[in-house]
Amino acid sequence: MRIGILGAGGMADALGTQWARAGHTVMISGRDAGRSTARADKMRAEARRTLPTQASAPQASAPQASAPQTSSAQMAGGAGGVVVAGEADVRAGTWAEAARFGEVVMVAVREAGLVDVLQAAGASMRGKPVIDVTNAAAPDRYDPTRPIARLIRDLTGGHVVKAFNLCHVDVWRMTPPVFGGRPLAVPLCGDDPAAMDTARTLVADLGCTPLNGGGLDRAMQLEATAAFVIGLWFGGADAQAILPPLASSGTHGQG
């Protein structure tokens, strides 16, 4: 599918490169056209690079990816069929061009510039799946009375899905993100079934597991969770250790 990305920073680079590698066509956008073009060229080259298999790859110094280095999306072709690495396509455009280009649009800009970017992108995101990865500028600045995902919905008219906001950008560069033999789970919050299906496809193309986090009204809780755990990580704590495994989490339903 065609993925337009509002942003040309780390998240656009990490996620966009992985999706291009999985067979999608990506357009990024930023404030500086020259830098965006250079970034797109770098992403295209990286997406076309043949990844090492587990057998030939050097062992990581930390227990990160214990699964094969080639994701299921690459082997099966993901949503785009069989992928030839040399055909991965990443290009650059303006905010408005990226918004028009994408069958799905990802918003990956800093909170401070969010409104200006969405206004510059224009009305072409209306009715499209819109993936929101945005967090507060700092963990202690998140305002739960002004949810970011709801703001993006109101300004774009898109079918917003909150996702990919709980992890550092370097996690999204892993192929795939697997920890202790368990693929990373990615919670999704959104109201539109088709947009949620699109988001699930993009999660699976990273080798991750999509989780239904509820409607867009619950995106505020996902944003607050990010603010809380990122604050712990910034303080040097192992935020993942605050929760027990599923088997020790009490009585619960399935799925």
pLDDT tens digits, residue range 111-143? 999 999 999 999 999 999 999 999 998 888 899
Q: Is 46 helix (H, G, I), strand (E, B) or coil?
A: helix
Structure tokens at 135: 């967090």
Does the pLDDT at position 73 exceed 50? no
- Amino acid type, 229: V
Long-range Cβ contacts of 41-47 (<8 Å, 24+ apart): 41/90, 42/13, 43/13, 43/16, 43/17, 43/90, 44/20, 44/88, 44/89, 44/90, 44/91, 46/17, 46/21, 47/17, 47/18, 47/20, 47/21, 47/85, 47/88, 47/90
Nearest Cα to 110, choosing from 143, 88, 138?
Answer: 138
Split at pLDDT 50, 70, 90, the class of 61 is very low
Does the pLDDT at position 57 exceed 50? no
Structure tokens at 106: 């990802």
Residue 189 placed within a domain: yes
Does the pLDDT at position 66 exceed 70? no
Q: For position 156, what pLDDT does the model report?
A: 97
Split at pLDDT 50, 70, 90, the class of 37 is very high
Split at pLDDT 50, 70, 90, the class of 51 is low
Contact 154, 126 (CB under 8 A): no
Q: For position 7, what pLDDT does the model report?
A: 98
Residue 173 placed within a domain: yes
Q: Could you list the residue range(s) of the whole structural domain that residue 176 is in?
A: 2-52+64-248
Residue 59 placed within a domain: no
Residue 104 placed within a domain: yes
Q: For position 83, what pLDDT does the model report?
A: 43
Does the pLDDT at position 67 exceed 50? no
**CA–CA gap between residue 185 and residue 229 (Å, rounded):** 16
In the predicted model, what is the mean pLDDT of residues 181-197? 97
Please classify residue 56 by burial: count the beta carbons closer than 10 Å to its beta carbon, then call 0-12 exposed, 13-18 middle and 19+ buried: exposed
Does the pLDDT at position 74 exceed 70? no
Residue 57 placed within a domain: no
**CA–CA gap between residue 99 and residue 79 (Å, rounded):** 20
Q: What is the tally of structural domains in the chain? A: 1
> pTM of the prediction?
0.85
Percent residues over pLDDT 70 in the chain? 84
Long-range Cβ contacts of 61-64 (<8 Å, 24+ apart): 63/179, 63/180, 64/174, 64/177, 64/178, 64/179
Residue 180 placed within a domain: yes
Lowest-pLDDT choice from 70-74, 173-177, 196-200, 223-227: 70-74
Residue 199 placed within a domain: yes
Please classify residue 193 by burial: count the beta carbons closer than 10 Å to its beta carbon, then call 0-12 exposed, 13-18 middle and 19+ buried: exposed
Other Cβ atoms less than 10 A from the Cβ of 51: the count is: 15
Residue 116 placed within a domain: yes
CA 24 to chain CA centroid, Å, is: 14
Q: What is the DSSP letter of 82?
A: S
Which CATH number fits the domain that encloses residue 142?
3.40.50.720
CB-based contacts of 58: which residues, under 8 Å, 6+ apart?
A: 52
Does the pLDDT at position 76 exceed 50? no
Contact 74, 83 (CB under 8 A): yes
